[in-house]
A and B are shown apart, each in its own frame.
Chain A
């Protein structure tokens, strides 16, 4: 029994004694509510393996000195991770203790808190917070199985209260096999002799619905390493994680196959026991003598590599790693030249390498008064350094443009036929296509507003969508033209915003507009 458990036990005993010895009085006629928030949690998100936080909250309490709570939940669906943490309601001057959660049975056997002075606190606030991880699909209630609220009097009086539990639900996906996922990401650069840590913990198990619905755990992780990516496999091994040596210069093909047999066969149709993911990693030779590698905060590690894209007025942080025989060289001054899309140098900077051989500089992408978009294109950063009278250099390129762009806006009939004339009280479908130049999916809020000829807003549509990395995504809103709309030329305005302006969102790109006719 560790100190925490002893402390928790002693506090629990003290509280039990005070209850048994004291006279329980009703000290509070107000509608005090002890609740777990949020009251309803519907995933995804959170999805399998992800975590979420539940807070224990008190509302409308008078003169609260101490409290004790026990919790229970469905152990096949949830598990508590870490220890509960105290909320601020009774602070400062408190003693907070919580027993270790029992995730086998799904209980928190004890959690309590009391003030170190004989004073109480009134009002509403957070008593504690707990983090849960989703273990399985299904529904469960996080129940307050025991609770007491005490006032500062000696003996303490119980404060009457009602409790409100929290309901969790995560519907399962359709039956599916496991999914193989691992790091490092595809395209990552390594130096010859580096250790490459392969981590497949993000792989997800399978799920089958027949004859019983159950998670199918991954039973084996099989790795194949093909140095040179020439079709011949040099290494085969197992394990969730592994470390290999970047021993051969060139590309290396890493193949992970996960296997998750259905524990209760037969499996449903479409259940595949295995899944495979392949990443191509790059191994460069150990630079002999002086070397420099230029990259940004969005990648670009490796010789003449490309960083992820940047948008208008974004800050670009430049990095230069200076080495000699692959060992960092400190205190070297690195010159950075920033070239715009025309190849014209627009800035020069010098950064001094730190003890890890890394020099930095930064600049913000310009947005001049006139024709700011003329600067869009592929920008280049050149870095040079002199190490023992040997000048070495590297470049890193990136795309400068609107990260999210409205590619097209079209008005259509409901049957998807393009149209530019719509009658009052008829439906107009506005189809919007957006592009994303980043290497990651980007969430954006798309708004469609329709004005009639008198500039009266007659319809609106707002949606947040995730635009696929380096791809295009479309969405559409179909709205009805009101009978009171002015006939004549109507205009559809489409915006892509980071969020709605009321949530401090800003435009991702200029507004796009098209016209159509409203007829009587």
Chain B
């Protein structure tokens, strides 16, 4: 038996060497996703960032899909950002264009608050087989508030282009002025393992009644890092939001997610209640505002740039509502 073991030992070593070599040759694509804070107030800016790494080296030409899901499991943000520059390899599916239009597809740059806007999106499939593409259109107002997210699943035959028109409601609370539409194409929602096909395309449109603003642009990443900033809607749901990040690179996919919390209005310290500490925090903000000192913008309940009687009433309403439930 000892002899047999002795003979088998070199084979075992060889086997282990092969296994080690094989494992070492397998590439790993990893993605991270983080938010700049864990807790946000309504209407606050959220920065999402992270890194895409292949075998400990940053991927500088990757695409990352970012999806934000609200507490009701509705998606509110769906964007594609890069990690330095857009991929250099040929695309299989590409968003060719997006523009604001009427329901017949005629360009129409102006939309009213509280009405429906329509967007025409054209996507090309350069592959030799049909792809069922998840196409999204994500709208932002002049303040970078995520207004609406609509999508389509459409089969695009091989070597052809498809267009669709989809409606999106413009909330009455949207800020007037230059707004942006970002159109992207994915294999599926990142929550279901989907990844981006291509860089996003953007278009500007005008929400009537305001001044012009900056032209839409997708933030560029750097050295394998990506980032995206958006502002939460002023009446967004309180609760836990999930951020999904996904990417595909050299045939490998990577998925990650994180969460952040949107505080109840009036919960200044983010401890989940509205108690005396929050009353004092509100009063501090009230006094600071009327004294001309820096003040906590969370006290501006109606987002009109001050802390006045309407904010006092709103805070008291929130206080009563909290203690009566």
Contact = CB atoms under 8 A, between A and B. Distances in A.
The 8 closest A-B pairs by CB, nearest first: A482-B169, A463-B164, A476-B153, A44-B159, A462-B165, A478-B151, A460-B167, A171-B126
Contacts of A173: 90, 92, 126-128, 159
A479 B116 CA distance: 11
Given A484-B114, A484-B172, A474 B164 contact: no
Contacts of B148: 480
Interface of B: 72-75, 90-92, 94, 96, 103-105, 114, 116, 118, 124, 126-128, 148-155, 157, 159-169, 171-172, 189, 191-192
Contacts of A209: 90
Given A414-B74, A479-B167, A466 B155 contact: yes
Given A173-B127, A426-B74, A461 B90 contact: no
Interface string A460-480: 111111100000011111111
Contacts, number: 132
Nearest to B120: A462
Nearest to B75: A414
A463 B152 contact: yes
A305 interface: no
Contacts of B168: 479-480
Nearest to A416: B192
A288 interface: no
A473 B155 contact: yes
Contacts of B104: 500, 502
Main secondary structure of the interface of A (DSSP, over half): strand
Main secondary structure of the interface of B (DSSP, over half): strand
Contacts of B192: 415
A483 interface: yes
A53 B152 CA distance: 32
- Scoring A413, A431, A482, A500 by chain B CB atoms within 10 A of each residue's CB, the highest score goes to A482
A425 B171 CA distance: 9
Given A427-B149, A475-B153, A482-B116, A44 B126 contact: yes
A475 B152 contact: yes
A463 B163 contact: yes
Interface string A404-418: 000000000111000
Given A47-B159, A484-B114, 17 more contacts: A42-B96, A172-B90, A179-B128, A427-B75, A427-B149, A458-B169, A460-B167, A461-B152, A462-B165, A463-B162, A464-B163, A465-B162, A476-B152, A477-B164, A482-B114, A482-B169, A500-B105
Interface of A: 42, 44-45, 47, 171-174, 176, 179, 209, 213, 413-415, 423, 425-427, 429, 431, 441, 457-466, 473-484, 500, 502
A415 B92 contact: no
A212 to B, nearest CB: 13
Contact of B94 (A45, A171, A481, A502): A171
A465 B155 contact: yes
Given A44-B126, A460-B103, A463-B154, A171 B90 contact: yes
5 contacts: A44-B126, A174-B92, A427-B150, A460-B118, A462-B165
Contact of B149 (A431, A465, A480): A480
Contacts of A459: 116, 167, 169
Contacts of A480: 148-150, 168-169
B171 A460 contact: no
A463 B157 CA distance: 13
A332 to B, nearest CB: 45
Nearest to B103: A460
Given A172-B126, A209-B90, A477 B159 contact: no
